[in-house]
Structure 1
């Protein structure tokens, strides 16, 4: 259900189960993790096939794991995949076209950039049937959109369109062709992008962050000393 296409400096990862709106099974989560972790390209573009980005966890699987008492391993698997996306060496871009629901929103939140088409919609409907996002969404959502919008979005279970998602900060841009944006990112310096991602995402202390920024900047200067000399002439 996870399809990979390597093109130039972008790996396109497609959730390819359109008949179920790309709902995720345990096997699909494992495949998604591998697609991101094993990637050597500087940019990963994550998309959904058909008319949805991702409907989240397959509810039939959730029902099965509930009956078998295996809820925790399934939740931990989803958390691990979201963490893998967030910590990947590549810049991971979510291209949301159509519906993103529940775990689909959580996967998008783990990405470095979220780009929506005008047809994109977002919702965390779990609260309406007694669940909530457990793949790290309760941590990442307020970090991305702020506490007020995070509570409104998650407690109401309502669906927001692309323009409201942009206002909230849930997406970075609304564009007709998210893949083109991902491809344009790959034209930037790959080492600089990786270090920028690492530094911006660091949740350590301010002093630790500043020390790491010095080290990262030194590494970039050493790597591009000749280019910098030419620019300075």
Structure 2
């Protein structure tokens, strides 16, 4: 079976990583506009680098949980072709055993040169004056897709959704597009859709099925049923 799985912050929350946006609209006590937009980076690159340095440290200290590991088990079942698309910028899917994960919003583990587009492994600490290893310009930025920028690998995601027979959204809020619209794209080609979430998302009513509870319980049970 062709399965496409979209994961959001909820799948990493039980590993101790904060979900993207709190009820007060802040992310780790910062305004989204200050730390997750190109404008915010231009206004205060040092602040943005400090913010992502802290996120990188927390992500590296976190450990994959049972939900990450269950998806890796599903991906390893030869009866299924599983594409994992994540909105998360941590690497817990990979450390949990998954492979070829599509990080549509980028990742903390790579640095990006805003001048020439070169990417390289991110050090623990990054700063505005860091030179690009390729062009030597001090244009280093986190390899993160901010608001107002185009998510990565959208063509690959669209192809996977067109071929999907089952689409699952796990731990997503349903508030951020284009990911929030993936359920309709999958359903339009005949895929069955399921949402696995602690609470109802803003898109819950669109899914064929919805299950509520912690990801570390829901996802292993769902995977066990699929693997049989």
| TM-score between the two structures when normalised by the length of structure 1 | 0.31
Q: Which has the higher contact order (CA 8 A, sep 6+)?
A: 2
Highest CA radius of gyration, 1 or 2?
A: 1
